[in-house]
C-alpha cells in the first residue's frame, strides 16, 4: 500500500507544463492540484470516467485519421477543412465546384453524404498487456514473436468487434511496454453540413502551411447520423442525427493570451522514444528521400493539373496530401538541425546509460537491448532505398497502386481471416472497396503516366542488391525515356483498371482470375504486390525484434525519469494541456499569439494562395464584426497559438477551455515546431488553432447560416419551423 502511494506522488507532476500527450488513464493519475493550477476547472473524472467508460473525452472523435469534436447534441462535428476535403471533393464538379465555392446546407436534407466518411466515438480502454505478452510462445524467434502478438491483437479486436458497429484496435505504447484495447462506436453515415470556400479553408495554401502568422479558416462542419433507434447505420434517408451524449459547447467569448486550453484528439505518430541513432537515420535518409520523391510527384501533378480544369480537381486531394508530407519533411529536417535534437537525445541516452550502469545488474538487459536495437537499425539501413520506393509507390500513380491493392487483397483473401495481414482482414473489406471506388475521383491519366515513368526511372537506378523485380520485368533494367513512355502508354491504353465497374469486379476476383485478364497495368501492380508482401514479411521479423528490445530499454528510460512520461503518439486519444501564447521564432523576433481579419486582408495579393473571396473580404473590409469582435484586438481573431503538444492526426482537434467549451480547432504547428515529433522544446512548441470566433463570424456575418447558428445555440430565436434542424 505504502509503495503505491509513494509511486503515485512520484508520478503526479509532469516535467514540463505543456509537454505530453496524455492518455485518458494518465490524466486521472496526474496530480489534480497541478491540473487545477494549470487552469482545468473540471474534475479530471469529468474528462474520463473509466467506470462508465465515458466522459467529455467521448465528445472527441476520430474522423478518418483526423480528429474532430461534437459541438451539438444533434451530431454536429467540427473538424478541419483539410480533413473533410475528401467529402468536399467527392461532390465537386467543374460545374458545381464546392472546393472553390464552399458549401452550406440550409436544411438537413441538403447535407451531403460522404462515401466512406466515418466518425468513431471512444467507449473503452482496457489494458491487455498481460494477455498479449502471454501469447508469445517460449523460445519464439523474432518473426514468431511478432506473429503471435499480432494474432493475439487480432483475436482481441475480433472479440471486441462482436458488438455491432464497433471498431477496435490494440494499440502499442512505448514500443510494447503496454498494449491497450481501444473500443469505439463507429458511425457510418456522415454528411457535409458546411465547408468554407477553399480560399478561406486553405488561405495561404502551401506557402503558409506549417507557418505563423496564419489566417486560415481550416474548419468544416459535418453531421453524424444514426438509425432512428440510435444505432449506427449505413446511409439511409430514414436516419436521424446522432444523439451525442457529450459535446463541446462553443465558447462565444473565445480566448485571450495567457488562457489555459487543452487540445484533445488523436495524434498519429511521434518518435521521441527512438534512439538518437535511429533519429539520425531518419534525418540522413528518410526525410531527404521524401523531399526528393514527393517533390517530383508534386511538380508532375501541378504541371499536368494546370493543363486541364477537370484534371486539377482530380489531382487536388492527392496533391494536397503530398504537399503536406513534403513540407513536413522539410520542417523535420530544419527542426532536427536547429533544435540539435539528435545530439540532445544522445546526451539523454548517455545519462540513462550511466545511471543504469551504476544501478548494477538490474538494468543490464536494458543496456544490451539498446545495443541490439542499434544493430537492427544498421541492418535496416541497407534495404532502405528499395523499401522506401516500394512503399512510396502506393502514394504515386493510382493505377498501379490500385493494381497492387487488388493483388494483395486476392492473395490474402484465400487465407483464414485471422491469418491475413491486418489490412486485408474481412473487417477492412468495405473500406478497401470504398477506397477503390473513391479513387475514380483522383484519376487523371496524363499525370498518372508521368508519375509512373518517374517511378520506373528511380527504380531502374537502384543498386544491384536493391532491384525491384516488377520494374525490371515490365520495363527492363535500364532507363530509356522513350521506351518507358511507350510502355507506359501501352499499359494505360490496354487497362481496365481505371474503369470503375471493371475495377469493382476485380475486387472480388481471385489471383488466378486477375492474372488471366492479361491486363498490362494490372499485371505490373500484381507483381509489385508480391514484392510488397515479401517486404512486409521481412518487416515482421524486424518488428518482432523491436518489440522484444524496445520495451526493455524504455523501462530503464522511464525509471530514470522518475516522473510520468507520456507515451509517443500512436493514433489513440490523448489530451494535452497548454496556454495561449506567442513565441520567438528566431533571434530578434517575437510572434504574438493572435491574428485578425485585418491581417488576413493585409496579406491579400489577389493571387493564389492569397485571394480572399469577395463575399468574405467585403464583410471584413466593412468591419461587420457582429458580436465576434475581440475587445482588445478590436477585430475578429482568426487564428491563435498555444503551446499544446500536438502532431499530425491532431488536425481537427477541439481546443477547449478549462470548462470544456470549444475555443478553437487545432490545425497545424509552427515551422519551428514540426520536429517536436522527435522532442518537445517549450520555446517553440506552438500549435495553430482556428479561433472559434472566426468560425462564428464566417457562419454568421458571411454565410448567414441562420439555422446552423441556432442549432449551435449561439443565435437566439426559435428553431427553424417544423424541425430542430
Q: In whole angstroms, give the CA distance from residue 37 to residue 690.
A: 25
Q: Is 60 in the site for ligand ASP (CB under 6 A)?
A: no
Chain-centroid distance of CA 233 in Å reads 25
Q: Is 647 in the site for ligand ASP (CB under 6 A)?
A: yes
Residue 250, classed as helix, strand or coil, is strand
Around Cβ 703, how many Cβ atoms within 10 Å? 20
Active site residue 226: no
Dist CA 163 CA 197 (whole Å): 40
Q: Report in angstroms how near the CB of residue 674 gets to ligand ASP at its nearest.
A: 7
Taken as a whole, the chain contains a residue count of: 725
Pairing of strands 119-127, 178-187: antiparallel
Options 14, 201, 648, 679; binder of ligand ASP; rule CB under 6 A: 648
Strands 260-265 and 654-656: antiparallel
CB of 202 to ligand ASP, least distance (A): 12
Q: Considering beta carbons, is residue 495 or 651 the nearer one to ligand ASP?
A: 651
Grid coordinates representing 4 are 503505491
Following DSSP, what letter does each residue of 659-725 receive, concatenated?
TS-EEEEEEEE-GGGGGGGT---TTT--EEEEEHHHHHHIIIIIT--HHHHHHTT-S-SPPSTTS--
CB of 214 to ligand ASP, least distance (A): 11
> Pick from 265, 305, 525, 649: which binds ligand ASP (CB under 6 A)?
649
What is the nearest approach in angstroms of ligand ASP to the Cβ of residue 678?
A: 13
Using CB under 6 A, which of the segments 226-234, 254-262, 359-367, 647-655 binds ligand ASP? 647-655
Catalytic residue among 651, 653, 668, 677: 651
Asked if 41 contacts 97 with a C-beta cutoff of 8 angstroms, the reply is no
Residue 324 Cβ, how far from ligand ASP at the closest point, in Å? 6
Catalytic residue (choose from 218, 259, 630, 700): 218
Using the CB atoms, write b or e for 486-511: b if 16+ within 10 Å: ebbeebbeebebbeeeebeebbebeb
> x/- binding map, residues 309-328, to ligand ASP, per CB under 6 A?
---------------x----
Stretch that binds ligand ASP, among 56-64, 531-539, 553-561, 645-653 (CB under 6 A): 645-653
Nearer to ligand ASP, 206 or 308 (CB): 206
254 binds ligand ASP (CB under 6 A): no
CB contact set of 482 (below 8 Å; sequence gap of 6+):
none
Residue placing its CB nearer to ligand ASP in the complex, 26 or 650: 650
Nearer to ligand ASP, 22 or 667 (CB): 667
CB atoms within 10 A of CB 592: 14
Separation between Cα atoms, residue 338 and residue 280, nearest integer Å: 14
According to CB under 6 A, which one of 120, 442, 594, 651 is a site residue for ligand ASP? 651
Residue nearest to ligand ASP (CB): 651
| Closest CB 614 distance from ligand ASP, rounded Å | 28
Choose the binding region for ligand ASP from 275-283, 592-600, 643-651, 690-698 (rule: CB under 6 A).
Answer: 643-651
* CB 24, min distance to ligand ASP, A: 21
Those residues whose C-beta lies under 8 Å from the C-beta of residue 95, and which sit 6 or more positions away, are none
Nearest of 234, 214, 69 to residue 662 by alpha carbon: 69
**Active-site annotation holder among 82, 91, 323, 474:** 82
Q: Which is nearer to ligand ASP, 667 or 697 (CB)?
A: 667
Size of the site for ligand ASP (CB under 6 A): 10
Phi and psi torsions of 687, nearest 5°: -105, 155
Binding piece for ligand ASP, criterion CB under 6 A, among 21-29, 341-349, 565-573, 646-654: 646-654
CB of 649 to ligand ASP, least distance (A): 6
- Per CB under 6 A, the segment of 238-246, 301-309, 382-390, 661-669 that binds ligand ASP is 661-669
Neighbouring residues of 330: CB distance < 8 A, sequence distance ≥ 6: 287, 291
Q: Is 646 in the site for ligand ASP (CB under 6 A)?
A: yes
Backbone angles phi, psi at 513, to 5 degrees: -65, -40
Stretch near ligand ASP under the rule CB under 6 A, chosen from 38-46, 521-529, 623-631, 667-675:
667-675
**Would you call 218 a catalytic residue per the annotation?**
yes
- Catalytic: 72? no
- Cβ contact 438:430 at 8 Å: no
668 touching ligand ASP, by CB under 6 A? yes
Residue 532 or residue 651: which is nearer to ligand ASP going by CB? 651
Q: Could you tell me the smallest distance in angstroms from the CB atom of residue 647 to ligand ASP?
A: 5
Segment interacting with ligand ASP (CB under 6 A) among 184-192, 314-322, 444-452, 664-672: 664-672
| Residue 571 Cβ vs ligand ASP, minimum distance, rounded to whole Å | 12
Strands 66-70 and 76-79: antiparallel
Q: Please list, residue by residue across 673-696, b when 16 or more beta carbons sit within 10 angstroms of its beta carbon and e when fewer do.
A: bbbbbbbbbeebbbbbbbbbbbbb
Q: Does 669 bind ligand ASP (CB under 6 A)?
A: yes
Residue 650 binds to ligand ASP (criterion: CB under 6 A):
yes
Name the burial class of residue 697, with classes exposed (0-12), middle (13-18) and buried (19+) by CB atoms within 10 angstroms of its CB.
buried
Q: How far is the CB of 212 from ligand ASP (least distance, A)?
A: 12
Give the nearer residue to ligand ASP in terms of CB position, either 298 or 470.
Answer: 298
Grid cell at residue 170: 490494440
Are 386 and 463 a contacting pair, CB within 8 Å? Answer: no
Q: Which stretch binds ligand ASP (CB under 6 A): 11-19, 350-358, 617-625, 644-652?
A: 644-652
214 binds ligand ASP (CB under 6 A): no
Cβ atoms within 10 Å of 165's Cβ, excluding its own: 16
Burial of 233 (C-beta count, 10 Å sphere; 0-12/13-18/19+):
buried
List contacts with ligand ASP (CB under 6 A): 324, 646-651, 667-669
**What positions carry a catalytic annotation?**
82, 218, 651
Amino acid at each position: 500500500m505504502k509503495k503505491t502511494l509513494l509511486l503515485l506522488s512520484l508520478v503526479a507532476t509532469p516535467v514540463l507544463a505543456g509537454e505530453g500527450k496524455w492518455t485518458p488513464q494518465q490524466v486521472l493519475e496526474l496530480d489534480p492540484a497541478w491540473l487545477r493550477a494549470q487552469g482545468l476547472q473540471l474534475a479530471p473524472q469529468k474528462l474520463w470516467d473509466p467506470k462508465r467508460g465515458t466522459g467529455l473525452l467521448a465528445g472527441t472523435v476520430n474522423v478518418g485519421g483526423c480528429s474532430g469534436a461534437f459541438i451539438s447534441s444533434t451530431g454536429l462535428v467540427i473538424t478541419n477543412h483539410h480533413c473533410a476535403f475528401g467529402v468536399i471533393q467527392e461532390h465537386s464538379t467543374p460545374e458545381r465546384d464546392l472546393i472553390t465555392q464552399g458549401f452550406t446546407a440550409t436544411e438537413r436534407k441538403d447535407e451531403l453524404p460522404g462515401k466512406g466518411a466515418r466518425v468513431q466515438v471512444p467507449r473503452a480502454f482496457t489494458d491487455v498487456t498481460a494477455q498479449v505478452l502471454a501469447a508469445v510462445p517460449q523460445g519464439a524467434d523474432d518473426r514468431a514473436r511478432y506473429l503471435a502478438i499480432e494474432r493475439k491483437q487480432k483475436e482481441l479486436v475480433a472479440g471486441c468487434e462482436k458488438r455491432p458497429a464497433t471498431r477496435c484496435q490494440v494499440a502499442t505504447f512505448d514500443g510494447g511496454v503496454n498494449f491497450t484495447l481501444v473500443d469505439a462506436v463507429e458511425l457510418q453515415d456522415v454528411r457535409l453540413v458546411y465547408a468554407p470556400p477553399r480560399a478561406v479553408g486553405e488561405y495561404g495554401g502551401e506557402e503558409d502551411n506549417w507557418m505563423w502568422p496564419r489566417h486560415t479558416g481550416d474548419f468544416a462542419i459535418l453531421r453524424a447520423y444514426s438509425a432512428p433507434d440510435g444505432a449506427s447505420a449505413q446511409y439511409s434517408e430514414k436516419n436521424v442525427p446522432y444523439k451525442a451524449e457529450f459535446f463541446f459547447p462553443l465558447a462565444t467569448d473565445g480566448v485571450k493570451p495567457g488562457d489555459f486550453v487543452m487540445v484533445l484528439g488523436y495524434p498519429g505518430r511521434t518518435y521521441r522514444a527512438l534512439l538518437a541513432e535511429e533519429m539520425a537515420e531518419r534525418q540522413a535518409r528518410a526525410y531527404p528521400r521524401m523531399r526528393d520523391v514527393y517533390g517530383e510527384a508534386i511538380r508532375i501533378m501541378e504541371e499536368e493539373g494546370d493543363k486541364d480544369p477537370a484534371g486539377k480537381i482530380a489531382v487536388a486531394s492527392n496533391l494536397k496530401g503530398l504537399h503536406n508530407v513534403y513540407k513536413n519533411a522539410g520542417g523535420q529536417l530544419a527542426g532536427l538541425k536547429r533544435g540539435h535534437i539528435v545530439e540532445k537525445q544522445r546526451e539523454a541516452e548517455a545519462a540513462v546509460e550511466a545511471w543504469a550502469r551504476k544501478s548494477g545488474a538490474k538494468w543490464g538487459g536494458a543496456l544490451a537491448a539498446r545495443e541490439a536495437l542499434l544493430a537492427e537499425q544498421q541492418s535496416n539501413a541497407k534495404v532502405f532505398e528499395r523499401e522506401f520506393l516500394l512503399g512510396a509507390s502506393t502514394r504515386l500513380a493510382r493505377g498501379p497502386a490500385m493494381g497492387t491493392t487488388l493483388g494483395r487483397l486476392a492473395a490474402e483473401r484465400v487465407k483464414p481471416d485471422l491469418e491475413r495481414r491486418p489490412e486485408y482482414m474481412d473487417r477492412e473489406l468495405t473500406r478497401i472497396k470504398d477506397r477503390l471506388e473513391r479513387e475514380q475521383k483522383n484519376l487523371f491519366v496524363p499525370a498518372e503516366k508521368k508519375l509512373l515513368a518517374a517511378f520506373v526511372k528511380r527504380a531502374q537506378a537502384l543498386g544491384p542488391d536493391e532491384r525491384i523485380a516488377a520494374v525490371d520485368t515490365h520495363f527492363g533494367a535500364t532507363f530509356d525515356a522513350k521506351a518507358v513512355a511507350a510502355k507506359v502508354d501501352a499499359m494505360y491504353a490496354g487497362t481496365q483498371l481505371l474503369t470503375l465497374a471493371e475495377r469493382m469486379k476485380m475486387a472480388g476476383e481471385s489471383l488466378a482470375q486477375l492474372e488471366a485478364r492479361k491486363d498490362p497495368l494490372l499485371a505490373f501492380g500484381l507483381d509489385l504486390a508480391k514484392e510488397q508482401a515479401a517486404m512486409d514479411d521481412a518487416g515482421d521479423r524486424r518488428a518482432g525484434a523491436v518489440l522484444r528490445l524496445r520495451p526493455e530499454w524504455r523501462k530503464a528510460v522511464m525509471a530514470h525519469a522518475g516522473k510520468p512520461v507520456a507515451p509517443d503518439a500512436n493514433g489513440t486519444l490523448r489530451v494535452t494541456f497548454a496556454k495561449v501564447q506567442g513565441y520567438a521564432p528566431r533571434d530578434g523576433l517575437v510572434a504574438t499569439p493572435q491574428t485578425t481579419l485585418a491581417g488576413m486582408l493585409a496579406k491579400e495579393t489577389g493571387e493564389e494562395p492569397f485571394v480572399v473571396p469577395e463575399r468574405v473580404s467585403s464583410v471584413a473590409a466593412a468591419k461587420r464584426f457582429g458580436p465576434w469582435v475581440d475587445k482588445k484586438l478590436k477585430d475578429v481573431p482568426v487564428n491563435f497559438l498555444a503551446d499544446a503538444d500536438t502532431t499530425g492526426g491532431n488536425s481537427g482537434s477541439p481546443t477547449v477551455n478549462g470548462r470544456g467549451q470549444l475555443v478553437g480547432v487545432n490545425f497545424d504547428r509552427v515551422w519551428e515546431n514540426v520536429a517536436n515529433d522527435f522532442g518537445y522544446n517549450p520555446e517553440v512548441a506552438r500549435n495553430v488553432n482556428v479561433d472559434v470566433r472566426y468560425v462564428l463570424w464566417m457562419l454568421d456575418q458571411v454565410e448567414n447560416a441562420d439555422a446552423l447558428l441556432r442549432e449551435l445555440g449561439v443565435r437566439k430565436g426559435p428553431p427553424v419551423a417544423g424541425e430542430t434542424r
